[in-house]
Structure 1
Amino acid sequence: MRNRGFGNTAIAGVTVMALCTGAWLLRSGAETHAPPQPSAAQARAAGDSGRAAAPALPPSPPDRVRIPAIRVDAPLMALALTAAGSLDVPPASKKNLAGWYEAGTVPGETGTAIVAGHVDNAEGPAVFYDLGALRKGSAIEVDRRDGSVAVFTVDAVEVYDARNFPDEKVYGAAKRPELRVITCGGGYSRSTGYRGNVVVFAHLTGSR
């Protein structure tokens, strides 16, 4: 595995593949349950930075993420690195739990904050099952421990094959408060699980 920049902080390896086994699809024996995938219309247009960014917030750990358009309302746990140097993931048994990379950027402060969660588990859909159905302009809200709520607006929703994952585009440093929400996608193989990742690109547009 090669090193890559991850949310303004160095991190090693393909960090989200542990999310991508597709245990539910393998157990069901069919691809008819595959989660939605983003269309080309939701990709970032050249030169489009979306709505103006709001001023950065002071650091405060996040406690919860809400994405009303796809009915996500989930607690956030802190994620660290595994012994192998990749990002750990939330327990698969807790399907309505997401995580954020604690050693990286805090959601709301300047830089690229990372949130990740499972698309499914052995029992069925998990927290980010519908992430690929999210559309540009949708809101993502992050409750923070200081009582504030960081409000992000979705700029793009894209899907990447694991073999051609654009490290710098997804994990690279940002000059404004940005957020990436990541789960699995990109088609499904019974032998290897999901072939890639769905990535939501968003930036801070408000707070309360």
Structure 2
Amino acid sequence: MSSKAKGWCLAAAVCAGLWLVQNGAQKVTPPVPSAAQAFAAGPRTHTDAAADPLPPAAPLRLRIPDIEVDAPLMGLGLGKDGSLEVPPAGNRNLAGWYRHGTAPGARGTSVVAGHVDNARGPAVFYSLGALEKGHRIEVSRADGRTAVFTIDAIEVYEYDKFPDRKVYGATDRAELRVITCGGGFSEKSGYQGNVVAFAHLIGVRNDKAA
């Protein structure tokens, strides 16, 4: 599904365009991950052990406390052109997960995607590039459990250099990719790449017991 997921971000760039905050003559764009947050910089000092994968269950909500994200999740399928469907651009606080793939928390690589902005301002993953290794991502699931992930790296890729296998490849543990558009921007063609957060499952909270 590599080309399909990448096609989604191209569509998002076209639909949303760039939201420009004018500060005098300066244009303000979404944060870009620093080199220190990439895999090439090496692991952080403490690496959390992976938790055992959960049985599949639909995700309901995603939270990233460090960038104040708390958003509902909708299922995304494929469009007629084979690209991943997009969440409605008019709702800035909505993300989607590829419902025909791995559910977050289950064994394998799950994919969550969302807009970086829309015509009215920043959207759900506008600040994704500001995350750091060790930050947490929480996904509430339909089975009453919350899957807790830790971020292993944040990287940015140009569209024509997108590492499909690295981002979407199979894995024996429960992993999560959170993707939005970002990187460079062209007023003619929109965003030039993707920001990708790589994370793995480190724990489970049983919300039914709360």
Q: What's the TM-score, normalizing by structure 1?
A: 0.90
Stretches of structure 2 lacking an aligned partner (at least 5 in a row) = 206-210
Cα deviation 1:24-46 (Å, max 9, x = unaligned): 43797x77220000010000147
Please say if residues 18 and 190 of structure 2, whose CA atoms lie closer than 8 Å, have aligned partners that are also in contact. no
Please say if residues 78 and 100 of structure 1, whose CA atoms lie closer than 8 Å, have aligned partners that are also in contact. yes
Please say if residues 27 and 122 of structure 1, whose CA atoms lie closer than 8 Å, have aligned partners that are also in contact. no
Q: 2:58 aligns with which of 47, 56, 61?
A: 61
2:11 is aligned to 18
2:105 is aligned to 108
Structure 2 distance, partners of 1:48, 1:157, is 12
Structure 2 distance, partners of 1:58, 1:100, is 17
Please say if residues 21 and 27 of structure 2, whose CA atoms lie closer than 8 Å, have aligned partners that are also in contact. no
Alignment of 1:139-158 (within 5 A): 139-158=136-155
Whether 1:204 aligns to 2:204 is no
- My pick for the range that moved more, 140-149 or 45-54, is 45-54
Q: How many residues align?
A: 201
Q: RMSD of the alignment, in Å?
A: 2.2
Cα deviation 1:145-197 (Å, max 9, x = unaligned): 11100000000000000111011001111111000000011111100011000
The CA deviation at 1:15 is: 3.3
Q: What's the TM-score, normalizing by structure 2?
A: 0.89
Structure 2 distance, partners of 1:33, 1:141, is 28
1:74 is aligned to 71
Alignment of 1:111-122 (within 5 A): 111-122=108-119
The CA deviation at 1:78 is: 0.2
Whether 1:127 aligns to 2:121 is no
Structure 2 distance, partners of 1:31, 1:171, is 36
Stretches of structure 1 lacking an aligned partner (at least 5 in a row) = none
2:38 is aligned to 43
